[in-house]
Structure 1
Amino acid sequence: MSVNVGILGGTGAVGQRFIQLLDGHPEFELTTITASDASAGKAYREAAKWRIDSPIPEYVGDIEVRATDPSDVPDDVDLLFSSLPSGVAADVEPKFTEAGYVVSSNSSNSRMADDVPLVIPEVNADHLNLIEVQRDERGWDGALVKNPNCSTITMVPTLAALDNFGLERVHVSTLQAVSGAGYDGVTSMEIIDNVIPHIGGEEDKMVTEPKKLLGSFDGSEIVQHDVDVAASCNRVPTLDGHLENVWAETAEEITKASAEAAFAEATTLDLPSAPDPLIEVFEDPDRPQPRLDRTIGDGMQIAVGGVQETPAGIQYNCLAHNTIRGAAGASVLNGELLVEDGWV
C-alpha cells in the first residue's frame, strides 16, 4: 500500500531530515511540501538551502512548494508530517486537522494537551486511542499526534524498560548537540571551547513529558505516571547526538545485570523505521559516544552504556540521534503506527 504524505514546513532543518528519511520509504510517497509564503510557488531546490549530508532526491527538487494552508494541499494527501516552528504550528496544525488531515507532528506545541496523544510507539502505542477523545471534543475529522522532545525521546525508552522495577525518581543531566537548536540556534562564538549549562524550556519538557509517556490510557484520559524527574540540560559542541547521564531510583532492588537485561529486552515493533533491538547495550564503559554511536540502527536506536549500581538504583548513559530518532524519525515512526493501526 502506498500512502501519499506531505511535509508542513519542509525547507527547515527538520523538514530536510524528513525528506531524507522519506526517500525510498516502503509505504510513504512524498507528494507535497509546504513552506512560508516567500517559498510558495518555487521548486523545492530553489526554496531550500539544503544542509543534509546527502543530495536532495531528484524528484523532490522538482516539487513545487505550496503555501502552508489546507486550501493549497491536495485532498489525496493521506498523512502530513509537521516540522513547523511551534508558534506557527499552534495556529496552523488545528486548521489542517479541522480540514480532515491526520498530522504527525514534531512541533512542541500541544504535547501536553489532555486530548493530544504524545507517542513513542515502542513505549505507549495504545495512547493513539486518545484520538477518539480528541475528535469528540474538538469536532474535527482529522487527528493531531505528537512525538516528544528530542532529549525526552532519548531517555524515556530506557525508563520504560526499568519500570517493572517500580520507577520512582529520575535525575538526568544532558549533553545536547548544537543541531537541536536549529542551524542558526547557537553561534560558533557561543559554543566553540564552551558548554552552555542552560537550554530554555528544555528542563521543563524533560520533567513533564515522561509522566505522560509512561502513563496509562483509561479509555477517556491519560493517567500520568507518578515518577519524579529532575533535569539539567546542557548544550555541548557536538553536531548531532544527545548524550544523557541518568540516575534512576526504583522501589525494587535492581542490579547492573538485571538493568542491562531489561534494556536489551525492550519492546520493538514490526514497523519499517522501528529498530531491532530498540536499545543497544554497550559493555565498554566509555560508550556510547555521539560521534561513534549516533547513527546505529540508521539513527533510530537508543544506545546505553556505563551501567552501574547505586545505593538507590542504577546509573547509566544513553544516547540517540536528536534529529533522526529525536525528531523527524520519531514523527515518521508515529506515522507508520497510525497507518498500521488504521487511523490513516
Structure 2
Amino acid sequence: MSLRVGVLGATGAVGQRLIQLLAPHPDFEIAALTASESSAGKSYREAAKWRIDAPIPDDVAEITVGATTPDDVPDDVDLIFSSLPSSVGAEVEPEFCEDGYVVSSNSSNGRMDEDVPLIIPEVNADHVDLIEVQRDERGWDGALLKNPNCSTITMVPPLGALDEAFDLTNVHVSTLQAVSGAGYDGVTSMEIIDNAIPHIGGEEQKMESESRKLLGTFDGAEVSLHGMDVAASCNRIATLDGHLENVWADAEEDITVEGAEDAMEAATGVDLPSSPERLITVFEEPDRPQPRLDRNIEEGMGVAVGGFRETTAGVQFNCLAHNTMRGAAGASVLNGELLAQRGYI
C-alpha cells in the first residue's frame, strides 16, 4: 500500500527533484503540493518553471498547488517532504508537526537542535529514535527529521568509514561546489563564468557542526557530538551539479592509503529503496572523481572517492556526490523511507 505524501516548496529546484524521485516511487504517492501564495490555486504545470531534464510527470502536472499551511494539505497525507527556504521552514515546519504531520526536511533550519534527528541512514540510522525525545519534549503527534547540508553529506560517509576503522581526530576540507547548490537564481552567470567564489555564506559552519552531529553517539536520550575538530573552506565553481571536496583526515590510528580504501569499500547501503547498493565507489585513478564524469554514480545516490595519499598524520582524499540528488532531494526521500521502515508514519 502506497503512503500519501506531500511536498512543501514544490516549485523550487529541490522541490522539482523531489517530484522527479517521488512520482515513480514504489511506496509513495504524491497527494499534495504547496508553494508560495503566488502559485497557490494554479496547476503544478502552470506554477512550476520546470527545469529538470525530463518531462513533468503527467499525474503530477495537473495537481492544484496549495499554499504552504497545514490547512492546505489533506489530513490523510502520511508524510511531508520539505524543501522550503530555511526562513520559511523555521516558521512553517513546526506548525505541520503540531498538526500531526511527519516531516522529512531538506531545509537547514533546526538541523542542530538537540531533539531533531539529523540523518544519513547509511551512517547513523539509530539517531531516528531521537523522535521519541522530540515528541515528549514538544508535545507533537507529528515529527521533524532533517538531512544534512549537501556539502556535509558528500564527505560524511567516507569520514564515517574512516572513523570506525581509525578514530578520527581532525578533519580539514576545501570544497568546489556546483552552482545548482545555490538554486536556479542563486549565482548569476556574470558572477561565476571565468571565476571561482571563495565564500558560501554559512556553509563552512554547517559542515563543521553537522558532521560532528552525524558521527556523534546517541544514547537514547541525546546525541553527543563527535570529538573531532573540523575546519572547512567552501568555494563555488562553474560546474552545474556535483560537489567535489578535498579532505584531509587525521586519526588516532595510523592510516594507510590501502587501509582507507578498504574501509570505504566496506561501507554498505541500507535496506531502503533509494539507498545505493554501493555507498562509496573508490577510484584508483589520481584524477578521479570528477563532477561531469562521476556525479551520477549509483543513479546520483552514491559517493565517489579517489586521489588518496598519505600525510604526516593521516590521509588526504577527494570525494564527490550529486548535490541535488544525494545531497538534497534524494537524501530527504531516503529519510522518508527510513521513517516508514521504523514505524514513525
TM-score of the aligned structures, taking structure 2 as reference length? 0.99
Match of 1:162 in 2: 162
Q: Deviations over 1:141-190 (max 9, x none)?
A: 00000000000000000100001201000000000000000011101000
- The offset of 1:282, in angstroms, is 0.5
1:258 aligns with 2:259: yes
Distance in structure 2 (CA, Å) of the matches to 1:130 and 1:216 = 11
- The offset of 1:220, in angstroms, is 0.8
SS at match of 2:235: strand
Distance in structure 1 (CA, Å) of the matches to 2:342 and 2:133 = 16
Distance in structure 2 (CA, Å) of the matches to 1:76 and 1:284 = 51
Q: Which structure 1 residue ranges, 5 or more long, are not aligned? A: none
Match of 2:37 in 1: 37
- The offset of 1:267, in angstroms, is 2.8
Match of 1:27 in 2: 27
Distance in structure 2 (CA, Å) of the matches to 1:84 and 1:330 = 15
Distance in structure 1 (CA, Å) of the matches to 2:38 and 2:190 = 30
Distance in structure 2 (CA, Å) of the matches to 1:71 and 1:43 = 18
Match of 1:272 in 2: 273
Match of 2:250 in 1: 249
Equivalent residue letter for 1:315: Q
1:71 aligns with 2:63: no
Distance in structure 2 (CA, Å) of the matches to 1:42 and 1:255 = 57
SS at match of 2:307: strand
- The offset of 1:276, in angstroms, is 1.3
Q: Deviations over 1:217-276 (max 9, x none)?
A: 111110110010011000000000000000000110111111001111113101100001
Match of 2:294 in 1: 293
Distance in structure 2 (CA, Å) of the matches to 1:205 and 1:76 = 34
Distance in structure 2 (CA, Å) of the matches to 1:223 and 1:281 = 30
Match of 1:102 in 2: 102
- The offset of 1:338, in angstroms, is 0.4
Q: Which structure 2 residue ranges, 5 or more long, are not aligned? A: none
Distance in structure 2 (CA, Å) of the matches to 1:237 and 1:304 = 21
Distance in structure 2 (CA, Å) of the matches to 1:100 and 1:214 = 29
Match of 2:199 in 1: 198
Distance in structure 1 (CA, Å) of the matches to 2:106 and 2:220 = 25
SS at match of 2:309: strand
Matches within 5 A, 1:1-344: 1-163=1-163, 164-344=165-345
The count of aligned residue pairs is: 344
- The offset of 1:15, in angstroms, is 0.2
Equivalent residue letter for 1:151: S
Equivalent residue letter for 2:80: L
Distance in structure 1 (CA, Å) of the matches to 2:273 and 2:288 = 27
Identity %: 73
Q: CA RMSD in A?
A: 0.6
Distance in structure 2 (CA, Å) of the matches to 1:168 and 1:248 = 8
Distance in structure 2 (CA, Å) of the matches to 1:199 and 1:179 = 13
Distance in structure 1 (CA, Å) of the matches to 2:119 and 2:233 = 23
SS at match of 1:97: helix
SS at match of 1:235: coil
SS at match of 1:257: helix
- The offset of 1:343, in angstroms, is 0.6
Distance in structure 1 (CA, Å) of the matches to 2:38 and 2:130 = 36
TM-score of the aligned structures, taking structure 1 as reference length? 0.99
Distance in structure 2 (CA, Å) of the matches to 1:181 and 1:71 = 30
SS at match of 1:211: helix
Q: Which runs of 4+ in 1 moved over 3 A?
A: none
Distance in structure 2 (CA, Å) of the matches to 1:52 and 1:107 = 20
Equivalent residue letter for 1:314: V
Equivalent residue letter for 1:157: P
Distance in structure 2 (CA, Å) of the matches to 1:23 and 1:69 = 22
Distance in structure 1 (CA, Å) of the matches to 2:344 and 2:88 = 25
SS at match of 2:42: coil
Distance in structure 2 (CA, Å) of the matches to 1:117 and 1:324 = 20
SS at match of 1:272: coil
